[in-house]
Amino acid sequence: MIRRSMFVVLAGLALLGLLLGACAPAATTVAPTQPPAATAAPTAAPTTASMGPLTFVLVPKNLGNPYFDTANKGAQDAAKELGVTVTYQGPATADVTQQITLLNSLIAQKVSGLAVSADDSNALVPVGQAAAAAGIPVVSFDSAIAAGGRVFHINQAEAQGIADVQIKMALDLTGADGGKIAILSATSSAPNQNDWIARMKTDLAKPENSKLQLVDTVYGNDDDTTSYTQAQGLIQKYPDLKVIIAPTTVGIAASARAVSDAKLIGKVFVTGLGTPNQMRDYVKSGASPEFALWNPSDLGYLSIYALDALATGKIKGQPGDKFSAGKLGDYTVLPDNTVLLGQPTIFNKDNIDNFNF
Amino acid sequence: MIDPATATPTTESQSSNLVNEFAPRRSFLARFQRWEWMLVALLFIVIVLNSGLSPYFLNAVNLSRTSSDFMEKGLMMLPMVFIILTGNIDLSVASNMGMSASLMGLLFNNGINIWAAALAGLVLGTLGGLLNGFLVSRVKIPSLVVTLGTYAFFRGLAYGFLGDQAATNYPASFTYLGQGKLFGTLIPFSVGLFVVLAVVFGVVLHRTTYGRYLVAIGNNENTTSYSGIQVARIKLINYTISGFISALAGLILASRFGSTLPDIGTGLELSVITAAVLGGVDINGGKGTMVGAVLSLTLIGLMSFGMGLLNIQGQVQGVIIGLLLILSILLPNLVRNIFGSKTRLTPQAIGMIVLFVIIFAVFFVFFFWSRTLALRSL
């Protein structure tokens, strides 16, 4: 008589055996070589950095953000030109704990280099040092890891320049009489956001900006719904608000939508940092007559060239090192261990149709 | 069920069933019917599968690094098992962790010695646990409601302490807690601490009367209370310990990051509860072992590590763990229902097994397909 217990064991083993069979060894990683909407073909597993094809990983603050998706496009272009593989992996939400787990996993896989946009500049230092100890060069782009956790930081534009251009646009939009402005940021821990906000506040203290009055700073966490709700909150709380500055592509789009939905176009203006494709309708409707950005695709492109120069030993990452970045030209590492991409561009209805990203 | 008072064994099988029902000795294979053995089997499968699929899995350095990712959850799971065994829950563990770490960070930023600040954090966390315990045991508010409230309250306090600032630059002696290794081995300090505490908690649960009382309370609180056991005091102690351990885990996490922000540890409470319930601790209380909980923590840790190496996305990993959790609750019930007291391969039983196999095959195809989707730029 077969005992009932044996059936449990047999059933369990049968299930698990089928799991084993279903998981026949497949490609261990897949390398996309095309920008979005193209199918990716599985290629061979990545090898270690010393010999053979290099594999770099672009790690955004979180997935599902068009700004970082565009950076990835540039990174893939660079990958094609350099003959390396670039994979694009990030946490589901802008949570540093998830980013650390992901980076630990990538270090374990012995990738050739990491380009990271930090969710928290300090918390990533230990894992950045662990990567360096494992022989993996780490650069940060867009949002810096604190010094000691990366070789150098690739800055899209000078932080002061980014702050200046946003205050200038706010002053343009309020007109000579000035008025109340508010800032809608991303997460309260994002280092780039906090840097820009601090600099904007210093700018506001200057005499030429004295007519602008900053009433509030709120956080949309780079989440569309949260940003939209925060923007609505600002409009309701400050009825005579003139300008919302949103130095985040998610926040600016949500705020422009909130202003349009509340039928306040022409009374409340939205400016900040946004992508042309997202903001085109709002520029034309007048909800956001002008905003600024740099090209995130160039940022991703430059990051991969920088990683390649580090991984192949062309540069060590010290101030003064020069490296070439394909179509962008030559770059030098600055004394504060950053690399500067360029100046921000202001988009308005005159030039917005010239861009597609 | 055969009623011993009126049954007359008429067949071989019926009499042998009678023997099975009431004999104190269990058959050899019946011993293996526990959920803990299923966990062992799954652990074995996971190790074999992953070491086959990735050359980086069985690497000592990698395992050492990944193990410290799970120790905060592990530490908080230990008192959570006690609390769940009594039929209660504690949703505030991660917020308590954040609150204690934030207080420590605030004091440290203001120049106070890190160890004094850490002690203050521990005290605050313990007080938080005491608050939970008081509200649950004396005021008799359901634990779900209490800890849901303190979940928000503690996290609010954390933001109140640190606001927008971060606490950084902890001295190396402190970061040793989260980042250091034991005496020249590859084992992280936090893992060593966890093992010691797991043994302590396990011994208390399985070998002391206190542990027995926990199980009794979970099975039937009223009869336990009428038996003269001080149920309220036990619950108070449970929650206070939970508060202390959460604060300790907060210190370890802050030291692992080398910095503290008020949102530290957000969302961890669900992983802690998942690990406990997957370990066979019945969510209604009264059943569960520490061995099972530790096994399930190891299983989840290794599965997550393995899936990460295979570049399976975080959300998909969550799907897998969720399925495993559902399975852990369904499987024992299903087996009991299908087989009952007789073992016969009825068409129903065969149908169930085939259904399970198909579901698993479908899900595994989905998981591997989802990898290529995730790695394409979105």
Does the pLDDT value for residue A217 go beyond 90?
A: yes
Nearest CB among A35, A36, A40 relative to B375 is that of A40
Q: Does B311 touch chain A (CB under 8 A)?
A: yes
Q: Using CB atoms and an 8 Å cut-off, which of residues 35-54 of chain B contact chain A?
A: 38, 41-42, 45, 48-49, 52-54
Interface touch A15/B357, C-beta < 8 Å: yes
Report, in angstroms and rounded to the nearest whole number, the Rg of chain B calculated over CA atoms.
23
Quick one: pLDDT band at residue A70, thresholds 50, 70, 90?
A: confident
Q: Where are the beta strands (DSSP E) in B171-323?
A: 259-260
DSSP class per residue in B169-214: ---HHHHHHHH-BSTTSSSBHHHHHHHHHHHHHHHHHHHSHHHHHH
Q: Does B267 touch chain A (CB under 8 A)?
A: yes
- Who wins on pLDDT, B319 or B32? B319
In a domain, B258, yes or no: yes
Mean pLDDT is lowest, of A84-88, B12-16, B317-321, for B12-16
In the predicted model, what is the mean pLDDT of chain A? 83
Stretch A68-84: mean pLDDT, rounded?
91
Output DSSP code: residue A40: P
Q: Which of A2, A4, A70 to mutate to test the interface with B (most CBs of B within 10 A)?
A: A4
Q: Return d(Cα A76, Cα B377) in angstroms, integer.
A: 9
**CA B197 centroid distance within chain:** 14
Same domain, B264 and B373: no
Q: Delineate the domains of chain A, giving CATH numbers in brackets.
A: 55-156+296-341 (3.40.50.2300), 159-293 (3.40.50.2300)
| pLDDT per residue as tens digits for the range B274-291 | 999 998 898 888 889 999
Q: Work out the minimum CA distance from A154 to partner chain B, whole angstroms.
A: 21
| pLDDT per residue as tens digits for the range A339-354 | 888 878 888 888 888 7
H-helix or E-strand spanning residue A178: none
C-alpha pair distances (Å), A276 with each of A5, A279, A289, B316: 65, 5, 12, 32
Does the pLDDT value for residue B90 go beyond 50?
A: yes
Between strands A153-155 and A338-340, the pairing is parallel
Interface touch A1/B175, C-beta < 8 Å: no
C-alpha pair distances (Å), B332 with each of A98, A283, B262, B271: 33, 61, 41, 22
Q: Work out the minimum CA distance from A245 to partner chain B, whole angstroms.
A: 19
Number of residues written out for chain B: 378
In a domain, B59, yes or no: yes
Same domain, B146 and B58: yes
Residue-level pLDDT at B341: 54
Does the pLDDT value for residue A128 go beyond 90?
A: yes
Quick one: pLDDT band at residue B219, thresholds 50, 70, 90?
A: very high
Q: Does A263 touch chain B (CB under 8 A)?
A: no
Residue-level pLDDT at B29: 56
Same domain, B320 and B375: no
Integer distance in angstroms from the first to the last C-alpha of chain B?
Answer: 58
Angle at A75 between CA A72 and CA A76, to 5 degrees: 90
Q: Return d(Cα A249, Cα A66) in angstroms, integer.
A: 8
Contact residues, chain B, for A9 at CB < 8 Å: 29, 32
Same domain, B258 and B306: yes
Q: Does A108 touch chain B (CB under 8 A)?
A: yes
C-alpha pair distances (Å), B140 with each of B79, B80, B232, B332: 20, 19, 9, 32
Same domain, B314 and B365: no
What are the percentages of helix, strand and coil residues in chain B, rounded to 5?
Answer: 75, 0, 25
Angle of helix B268-278 relative to helix B290-309, nearest 10 degrees, comes to 120
State phi, psi for A89 to the nearest 5 degrees. -135, 140
Among A36-45, A92-101, B98-107, B350-359, the range of highest mean pLDDT: B98-107
Q: Does A10 touch chain B (CB under 8 A)?
A: no
Q: Return d(Cα A99, Cα A106) in angstroms, integer.
A: 10
In a domain, B266, yes or no: yes
Query: Containing domain of residue B316, as a range?
Result: 39-332
| pLDDT per residue as tens digits for the range B91-132 | 999 999 999 999 999 999 998 999 999 999 999 999 999 999
Interface touch A108/B66, C-beta < 8 Å: yes
- Who wins on pLDDT, A22 or A156? A156
In a domain, B102, yes or no: yes
Does the pLDDT value for residue A236 go beyond 90?
A: yes
Contact residues, chain B, for A193 at CB < 8 Å: none
Q: Work out the minimum CA distance from B188 to partner chain A, whole angstroms.
A: 14
Mean pLDDT is lowest, of A85-99, A146-160, A188-202, B324-338, for B324-338
Mean pLDDT is lowest, of B276-280, B294-298, B320-324, for B320-324
Report, in angstroms and rounded to the nearest whole number, the Rg of chain A calculated over CA atoms.
23
Q: How many Cα atoms within 13 Å fall on the side-chain side of residue A208?
A: 7
Interface touch B364/A7, C-beta < 8 Å: no
Q: Return d(Cα A77, Cα A301) in angstroms, integer.
A: 7
In a domain, B126, yes or no: yes
Mean pLDDT is lowest, of A122-131, A273-282, A286-295, B333-342, for B333-342
Interface touch A3/B27, C-beta < 8 Å: yes
Interface touch A15/B313, C-beta < 8 Å: no
Q: Does A13 touch chain B (CB under 8 A)?
A: yes
Same domain, B213 and B360: no
Contact residues, chain A, for B304 at CB < 8 Å: 101
Stretch A252-256: mean pLDDT, rounded?
94
In the three-class reduction of DSSP (H, G, I as helix; E, B as strand; rest coil), residue B265 is classed as coil
Only one residue has tokens 């980076």, namely A103
pTM, 2 dp: 0.75
| B255 contacts: CB under 8 Å, gap ≥ 6 | B170, B174, B175, B176, B177, B178, B179
Q: Return d(Cα B109, Cα B112) in angstroms, integer.
A: 7
Same domain, B297 and B365: no
Q: Does B344 touch chain A (CB under 8 A)?
A: no
Torsion, CA A268, CA A274, CA A277, CA A281, rounded to 10: 0
Residue-level pLDDT at B322: 85
> Of A271, A107, A102, A240, whose CA–CA distance to A177 is shortest?
A240
Query: Can you give the CATH number for the domain in which B230 is found?
Result: 1.10.3470
Same domain, B258 and B214: yes
Does the pLDDT value for residue B336 go beyond 90?
A: no
Stretch B51-61: mean pLDDT, rounded?
85
Quick one: pLDDT band at residue A46, thresholds 50, 70, 90?
A: very low
Interface touch B56/A97, C-beta < 8 Å: no
Mean pLDDT is lowest, of A115-129, B23-37, B298-312, for B23-37
Q: Work out the minimum CA distance from B244 to partner chain A, whole angstroms.
A: 22
Same domain, B155 and B74: yes
In a domain, B167, yes or no: yes
Q: Return d(Cα B11, Cα A88) in angstroms, integer.
A: 67
Stretch A211-233: mean pLDDT, rounded?
93
Same domain, B367 and B255: no
Q: Work out the minimum CA distance from A126 to partner chain B, whole angstroms.
A: 7
Same domain, B302 and B375: no
State phi, psi for B188 to the nearest 5 degrees. -65, 150
Residues A206 and A168 sit within 8 Å (Cβ to Cβ): no
Domains contained in chain B, number = 2
Among A24-33, B98-107, B165-174, the range of highest mean pLDDT: B98-107
In the predicted model, what is the mean pLDDT of chain B? 84
- Who wins on pLDDT, B249 or B372? B249
Residue-level pLDDT at A209: 87
Angle at B235 between CA B230 and CA B240, to 5 degrees: 130
In a domain, B23, yes or no: no
Residue-level pLDDT at A353: 83
Same domain, B64 and B163: yes
Interface touch A23/B53, C-beta < 8 Å: yes
Stretch A81-102: mean pLDDT, rounded?
89
Residue-level pLDDT at A153: 92
Residue-level pLDDT at A42: 36
Between strands A113-116 and A138-141, the pairing is parallel
Torsion, CA A33, CA A37, CA A39, CA A42, rounded to 10: 40
Mean pLDDT is lowest, of A39-48, B192-201, B345-354, for A39-48
Mean pLDDT is lowest, of B8-17, B299-308, B317-326, for B8-17
| pLDDT per residue as tens digits for the range B42-51 | 899 889 888 8
In a domain, B372, yes or no: yes
Contact residues, chain A, for B330 at CB < 8 Å: none
Residue-level pLDDT at B25: 54
Q: What ipTM did this prediction achieve? A: 0.74
DSSP class per residue in A253-314: HHHHHHHHHTT-BTTBEEEEB--HHHHHHHHHHTSSS-EEE--HHHHHHHHHHHHHHHHTTS
Stretch B27-56: mean pLDDT, rounded?
80
